[in-house]
Structure 1
Amino acid sequence: MPYLCHWQIEHSWPLSDGENLLVRTLRRIQVLVSRFWVMSVLGMAAVAPAYAAYVAPPTVLPARTSWIGNTFGFGDGVWTQINITAIAVAPDGRVFTNAPWDESGAEVSIYKNGKVLGTADGTHGWGHYGGNAIALNQRYVFVAVAVGNERGVLSRPGIWPPKGKQWFGVSRREIGDIKRAATFQANPAADKADEQARLAAAFLMVNEAPEEKRGAPKTEFRQDVGGLAATDSLLYVANTSANRIEVYDAESMQQRSNWSAPQPGRLALAKDGTLWALVNTQGAKARLAHYTPAGAPIDDAPALAAGTDAVDLTIDGQGRLLVADNGPRQQVLIFTREGGANTYRETSALGERGGIFSGVPGRPGPQRFNGLTGVGTDAGGNIYVSTNGIGVRQGSTGAGLGATLESYATDGKQLWQVQGLLFVDGAWMDPARPNSVYTGNKRFELDLSKPVGQEWKYAGFLSGRFKYPEDPSFSVDDWPGQPIARRLNGHTFLYLVDMYSDHLKIYRFDAKRDGELAIPSGYFAGRERAAVNIPNRPAGGDWIWHDDNGNGRFEANEFEVNSGLLPNPGGWGWWVDTKGDIWHTSDTRGINRFRYGGVDKVGNPLYAYDNAQNYPMPAPFNVVKRAVYEAETDTMYLTGYTADEPFDRGYWKEVGRRLVRYDHWSGTPRERYSIALPWDTKSKPLVTTIGLTVEGKYLFTVEPYGMVHVYEKDTAREVGVIKPGPEVGRASGWVDVPNGISASRQADGEYLIFVEEDARGKVMMYRWRP
């Protein structure tokens, strides 16, 4: 399937590495760690207090709920979707969108004047997905979709494809109510009250293809519909993989004709009935083609300049041809027919040349486009542009770089914009600038005097795909993840943990040369499977990359392979302390500490295997999942499982069932307290703990559905809980990044608590004053 269903994937990855590795690891620990340290931890464990099993706290703390990263917070039930890959614009300015995936089912949505008018439903779950094309006529909305069978679970004939197959085609909806399937065929399994049958009766299958195997490399050359265009009587379909354009009756949905076209993509109809198309859309750069209504080529399509990456096109009311260029220009190119001549010439463009990467690279603003995916116009000549940070056919990466939909008047003035900027993305306060917040690939600025949901401003996009094309953000299918920002030796570094803790990415900044962009600086590989797309990588998954020459590329001589000095934890717990040391936990092989070695000549933080050590797993744990270390006080907070609170393989991303604080960690560790964490896997919603952080006087933990627990860190007394308020519909999506929580104590004593929130394109921001 095109995007991951987090619950399904999370409960299916293998967990163990083999007994032989465990034996070797234990032997290495004996060499690296002193016997005295081990005996100190084990000997002191018996005198520490142990708290009773978890009891739900009665106190709900009076925290103010807000958010960052989405125009809408779901307080009124709406949000901006996390990805937009296609748009169609009605004459009255309604914009209909499509994308393969939105976490809460808004793949197909409607916007107007900066407001959300509704969503289509039936494009998410139960084997349904969105797609990369959409078209309108006066009665219908035609939506490119995919239909699967949830790996054989859905098996009704005619409703879902047979096991091992998936369908790609077009869903037809009523334009006045896009939730209503506009049926055009009888279905042998149909029941008028059965919504799945109604969807099937309104679905035109264009291609049947083998189901993508789990774990197989993602391919962009799928058999989906690459483009759509419609009149009141005809529907044009770009069957990309079949190299043809197909024409259907818009009412009966029976095919009338087709003609050959090389890898056709987006389509646009002119007033004279001719059809414009992008062709050669797979692999090679697309070019423009123009056809008569019968499919005969018209030799007037303008050539596109070198470097153009055409991803969409439309014809405006003046007959001008508009082309969305996702190449380095990042503009909408406007072509005008020259008088009576049978030629088109580029006469103007919408957008600052270079888009978000021009001027101060990474700084967003009007006409500073970033990853164009769609262009359209209304009857008044207003232009609409969609972006997602990377482009149309980029696998699941497009769901993590931020969707925008913008409207511009004929004079180029921005009329409105909506943003859905975050997905599987946490937040961390910038240690160098007050009121500045980093997420995995963006920076926001806060003005806490403003109303709820308006405190944030999008200030920086961090991923420079043209200057730093080997940035792992584009090559590793992991979504942004949980950031940790640290200020070390006068430099700010961003450390980024992916949603499966497979690796740790390190970025540096150079504002004078790179503006807001984050420069790839270092990379810790934790598991081989996540690093297969890294250029020049060593064999296996236990190595460190260091950008020695400062060009942000993975050169063959820049890798250090673990030669046995440390066990490879391959575990879930990454942490970077305020002194720059990196901590990495293992389920059973202890905790690795990579000591910060200063900054090299190009500004990278230095880490090496010979400047690291391993700490064995202390009592009472038999599995350790997280390690949060406070360097100022030499205090360690460990979480995991014990013999009496065993590890449950079904909940492998959680922090564990017990938290223990150890004082004097680097000398003679002493267990200060031990507390049972929230854990009830049979409750609805699920009650476990997915993340923790420490700030000021408090320890904060978060459950998968977003409820935050606040403890006094010195005493372990639970102060209370923070729940999502009415500002966000009293709802939070799944926290899907290990340690998807951070906190920052402000100068006035208020705490800002950020929690990753998968469901609706944002990060929660709780404001709590003790």
Structure 2
Amino acid sequence: MIRIRNYRNFKIVRLLLVFTIALVITGLITTTYWGANGVPITSYKTSWIGNTFGGGAKWVQNQVLDMYVATDGTVYTNSFWDESGREAGVYKNGDVIAKAEDLHGWERTGGFAVTADKKHLYVGMEQRYIATDKPADYPPENTTWYCVRRYELSGKIAPFPGGKGVGQNMLIVSDKHRVTGLATIGSELYVAIRDSNIVRVYNTNTLQEVRKFSVPNPTKIAVDKQGKLWIIQKPKDGNAAKIGHYSPKGDRLPQTISNVPKANAIAVDNQNRLLIADNGKNQQIVIYSLKNQPTQVGSFGVKGGIYAGVPGEVGNLKFYGLTGVGVDGSGNIYVNSSGFNEGVGTQEMMTGTDIRKFSPSGAMQWRVLGLPFVDNADVDPKTDGIQVYTIHDRYMMDYSKPVGKQWTYKGYTLNPFKYPEDIRLRNAHGSVFFRRIQGKPFMYFTDMFGSFLHIYRFNPATDGEIAIPSTMLVNTSDKEEKVQADSFPPNQPQIGDWIWRDRNGNGAFDRGEYEASGRDYPYIGGWWVDSKGDVWKTVRTADGIRHFPLQGIDAKGNPIYSYSSMKKIATPKIFNDIRRIEYIPETDTMYLSGFTAEHPALQDDGKAFGSEIARYDNWSKGNRKERFRITVPFSPKANPEVLTASMSITGNYIFTITSKTPEVSVYNAKTGAFVTKFKPGAEVANESGWIDIPYGIRAFRRANGEYLVFAEEVAKAKIIMYRLPK
């Protein structure tokens, strides 16, 4: 037995013990929120998925459309858009070290070309009109300035006499067409403008034009050791590219490379070899000797890229969606992959950044990733949270690792060469539900407006990691006119709701694979896929619930849904505008959200979640009397406005998240009682972008009782992951 011999010391120890207990009880040492069934939610941890860095001053931009590598290995990039303003990023030694200032907002964006010399960084960008009290800094109404903007190598603005725009560092090269390529030779800056079929040349000190010359469809430019230009010539209509050879004065030289029709980026190495990023099926860097007639002397990267071997399986030398290549003074090779997306006639919708540095022998030295954008995650329930999917990507989780290090990028699920009609090539933003139906994996994808639900199947034996287009449910368009003949997808019904199923298994939208139902109410509230594979949909009407029971899985592996089996269900009377829906078949419990007479919508926002959540027990037995109602955060007149965006129910809790100041609220799923709320923690610099999608929060309860809560984080190109102990 240990005895305290000094009574005075004993009193001090006792007082300290009482004070400590009081601190614990009041939550000053650790915060404990008592939730459902007396189960405590102790202090949560914030982590993230999909970006090398957690936020604050460091994050990898969400896309790269051009890349230039300096002799010392500094990597300069350009994007059309990055949510937090890193349109033009600067990277070195596996770190993000800077960004070009003031390229975001006020109708400014980045662009498609970047280069640097020993003193300055040059960034292709666009400045559109904006009404302001400083009109000289902006173009006239209905005009866009297509510019090269000059910076110090640190990213600071570098003004020059006669410079336009905010900062007086914009060189206006066109008011009609964007900049598509940049390069420097000595004191001269070369600017390609594809849609004007011209290359303009400027003095880098004064940025005065010194000459111009014609080049058909010029885009990316590289300079060889003799000071000659190699220019990718890529027609706007998507026809085959070729690479032309030009003198600095613009004289057309006889050498041409025409056997890389999908050339997308270009660089010259320290051996005076030309490196061309082939964005076709090979997904390689092809290497040409420039002695006399250019001759291919090698390649870099696995032929077939990410589709070689196990299709979609990530590998150090497997590339996908090549947009950048460069070489430093030591012969190290740098490659960027940005995935595939056709956008709306441009590359502006492309998402993902994957910059890698390799030694001359091909060993990867470092890699930085910024993969998700307007995206959220869901888990494969069979794996207890170990396998996590986003729209394009699969991650493997190791929850024993430090914050931000739990994820490993394992799979890219999109194959544009085998499945060119995959809707994700045209719509890159939204979220997924991942389900196991009859033991088989399926991914359900809906866009940021909830206008469709696209279903993907998996066949690892034939397609590895690739999600195969399988089934699609589409809502009635809000436009009255018939679908145009060239609309996507092909062969679709002219009017109204429809279901497509890939009956022949080729992943294409063929004739005879559609079922039409005629026009339904055009404004959708939400989609849900329950654990049995039934699909639920809400539209904003008195009979606003649509239930599509799963009718089985066909011989090609597609889930079957039909209008003949679809049930229309009346909206419970408390809702005058129903929005989201989640049904749990194991307990026959329905959760609905929407606007009510007591808490009406103050404006017509088609993406809104509503102002209340209601729970219904014994739903399939016809019970429409709510067990409880929850009033969720909803204050559109606040500054900033407070709108709940999404909900997710799992285990003992209902999780909701607000949109503009993303804050998670937690409610008891059995009683509706408020439990707690939390925000992004210090691990992600206490910050998050807006929630832009109707399923911006997704929760999963692991077998050990731990809760994983995923939230869209558009600002810094990642998914936030909250971990709540059981």
TM-score (norm 2): 0.90
Match of 1:711 in 2: 667
Verify the 8 A CA contact 1:322 1:375 in the aligned structure 2.
yes
Task: Indicate how the Cα distance of structure 1 residues 760 and 386 shifts in structure 2: closer, same or farther if over 3 A, else same.
Answer: same
In structure 2, the residue matched to 1:319 is: 272
Alignment match of 1:197 (pick from 145, 154, 166): 166
- One-letter code of the match for 2:110? G
Which position in structure 2 is the counterpart of 1:588? Answer: 541
Partner SS, residue 321 of structure 1: strand
Query: Which amino acid in structure 1 is aligned with residue 588 of structure 2?
Result: D
Match of 1:744 in 2: 700
Residue number in structure 1 paired with 2:37: none
Query: Given the alignment, which residue of 651, 657, 675 partners 1:702?
Result: 657
* Amino acid corresponding to residue 178 of structure 1 in structure 2: G
In the alignment, which of 631, 646, 654 is matched to residue 676 of structure 1?
A: 631
8 Å CA contact 2:341, 2:351 repeated in 1: no
Task: Please state how far the C-alpha of 1:180 moved relative to its aligned partner.
Answer: 1.8
Counterpart for residue 379 of structure 1: 329
Q: Does 1:253 align with 2:207?
A: yes
Q: List per-residue Cα deviations over 1:333-390 (Å, max 9, x = no partner).
A: 110134xxx1121111111001011110011111100100011111111111111102
Letter in 2 for 1:489: Q
Q: Which residue of 2 aligns with 1:346?
A: 296
| 1:168 and 2:119 matched | no
Distance in 2, Cα, partners of 1:495 & 1:392 = 21
Matched, 1:355 2:314: no
Using CA pairs under 8 Å that are at least 6 residues apart, name the structure with larger relative contact order, 1 or 2. Answer: 1
TM-aligned CA distance change 1:399 to 1:83, over 3 Å: farther
Q: Which residue identity does 1:584 align to in structure 2?
A: K
Shift of 1:395: 5.3
Paired residue for 1:579? 532
Aligned with residue 624 of structure 1, among 578, 581, 591? 578
The answer for the alignment partner of 1:123 in structure 2 is: 103
1:71 corresponds to: 52
CA distance in 2, matches of 1:551, 1:518: 12
- The amino acid across from 2:336 in the alignment is S
Contact 1:375/1:383 (<8 A) preserved: yes
Aligned residue in 2 for 1:415: 365
- Map Cα deviations across residues 603-630 of structure 1 (whole Å, 9 max, x no partner): 0000000011111111211100111111
SS of residue paired to 2:564 = helix
DSSP-derived class of the 1:466 partner: coil
Cα distance in 2 for residues equivalent to 1:197 and 1:506: 46
> How much does 1:396 deviate?
6.9
Percent of residue pairs identical: 40
Deviations 1:482-538 (A, max 9, x none): 211111122111111110111111100001100000000011111437984211111
Distance of 1:247 and 1:398 partners within structure 2: 26
Q: In the TM superposition, what whole-angstrom CA distance separates every residue of 1:659-687 from its partner, at most 9, and x where no partner exists?
A: 11111112131310111111122434432
Letter in 1 for 2:83: E
Q: 3-state SS of the aligned residue for 2:643?
A: coil
Given the superposition, is the C-alpha separation of residues 586 and 129 from structure 1 closer, same or farther in structure 2, using an over 3 Å criterion? same
Change (3 A) 1:392 1:619: closer
**Aligned with 1:471 (options 419, 422, 443):** 422
User: Which amino acid in the other structure matches residue 239 of structure 1?
Assistant: I
Following superposition, the deviation at residue 479 of structure 1 comes to 2.4
**Cα deviation, residue 322, structure 1:** 0.7
Instruction: For 2:638, give the aligned amino acid.
Output: S
1:523 touches 1:544 (CA, 8 Å); kept in 2?
A: yes
Q: Distance in 2 between matches of 1:717 and 1:754?
A: 22
Q: Distance in 1 between matches of 2:368 and 2:208?
A: 37
Structure-2 change in CA distance of 1:388 and 1:394 (3 Å):
farther
> Which residue number in structure 2 is paired with residue 265 of structure 1?
219
CA distance in 1 between counterparts of 2:639 and 2:313 reads 43
Please state how far the C-alpha of 1:68 moved relative to its aligned partner. Answer: 0.5
Query: 1:110-164 deviations in whole A, cap 9, x for unaligned?
Result: 0001100011121110010000001111111111001112xx5347433111121
More deviation, 374-383/698-707: 698-707
Pick aligned residue for 1:720 from 655, 676, 689:
676
Q: For 1:394-409, list aligned pairs within 5 A.
A: 399=349, 401-409=351-359
Residue 288, structure 1, aligned to residue 234, structure 2:
no
Instruction: Report the Cα offset of residue 432 of structure 1.
Output: 2.8
Cα distance, 1:747 vs structure 2: 1.4
User: Does the aligned pair in 1 maintain the 2:496–2:518 contact within 8 Å?
Assistant: no
Secondary structure of residue in 2 paired with 1:110: strand
What's the counterpart of residue 395 of structure 2? 444
- Of 497, 502, 510, the residue aligned with 2:451 is 502
1:164 partner amino acid: N
Equivalent position SS for 2:243: strand
Measured in 2, the distance between the counterparts of 1:658 and 1:637 equals: 10
Q: Distance in 2 between matches of 1:393 and 1:720?
A: 40
Task: Look up the equivalent residue of 1:441 and give its one-letter code.
Answer: H
Q: CA deviation at 1:61?
A: 5.6
Aligned to 1:184: 161
Asked if the contact 1:58–1:720 (Cα under 8 Å) also holds between the matched residues in 2, the reply is yes
> Once the 2 structures are TM-superposed, how far is the Cα of residue 330 of structure 1 from its aligned partner?
0.4
Deviation, structure 1 residue 226: 0.9
User: What residue number does 2:281 align with?
Assistant: 328
Does residue 724 of structure 2 align to residue 768 of structure 1? yes
* Structure that is richer in strand per residue: 2
Q: What is the alpha-carbon root mean square deviation over aligned residues?
A: 2.0
- In the TM superposition, residue 231 of structure 1 has moved relative to its aligned partner by 2.7
Q: Equivalents in 2 of 1:370, 1:495: separation in Å?
A: 23
Secondary structure class of the residue paired with 1:366: coil
Q: How far, CA to CA, are the matches of 1:392 and 1:677 in structure 2?
A: 38
**Contact in 2 for aligned 1:93/1:379 (Cα 8 Å):** yes
Q: Secondary structure at the match of 1:572?
A: strand
Deviation at 1:89, TM superposition (A): 1.1
Q: Could you give the per-residue CA deviations for residues 519-564 of structure 1, whole angstroms, max 9, x where no partner exists?
A: 0001111143798421111112411111110100000211111047
Determine if the alignment matches structure 1 residue 607 to structure 2 residue 557: no
TM-score (norm 1): 0.85
Whole-angstrom CA distance in 2 between matches of 1:419 and 1:573? 31
2:53 partner SS: coil
Alpha-carbon distance, 1:759 to partner: 0.9
* Counterpart position of 2:688: 732
Distance of aligned partners of 1:137 and 1:490 in 2 relative to their CA distance in 1, 3 Å threshold: same
Matches within 5 A, 1:34-113: 62-74=43-55, 76-113=56-93
Letter in 1 for 2:325: V
**C-alpha displacement of 1:286:** 1.1
Q: Is the 8 A contact 1:425 1:482 kept in 2?
A: yes
Aligned partner of 2:14 in structure 1 is none
- Could you tell me which of 417, 431, 441 is aligned with 1:482? 431
Which AA in structure 1 matches 2:471? Answer: G
Deviations 1:216-271 (A, max 9, x none): xxxxxxx2111000134101011111111111111111111111110101011122
Query: How many aligned positions are there?
Result: 678
Contact persistence 1:741–1:755 (CA under 8 A)? yes
> For residues 659 and 61 of structure 1, what CA distance do their matches in structure 2 show?
25
Q: Are residues 1:153 and 2:131 paired?
A: yes
Q: Is the 8 A contact 1:573 1:585 kept in 2?
A: yes
Contact 2:578-2:593 at 8 Å conserved across structures: yes
C-alpha distance in 2 between matches for 1:392 and 1:569:
26
Aligned-pair distance for 1:279? Answer: 1.2
> Any conservation in 2 of the 1:288–1:302 contact (CA below 8 Å)?
yes
Asked if residue 133 in structure 1 is aligned to residue 113 in structure 2, the reply is yes
Residue type at the aligned position of 2:126: A
- The aligned counterpart of 1:12 is none
Distance 1:93 1:738, change over 3 A: same
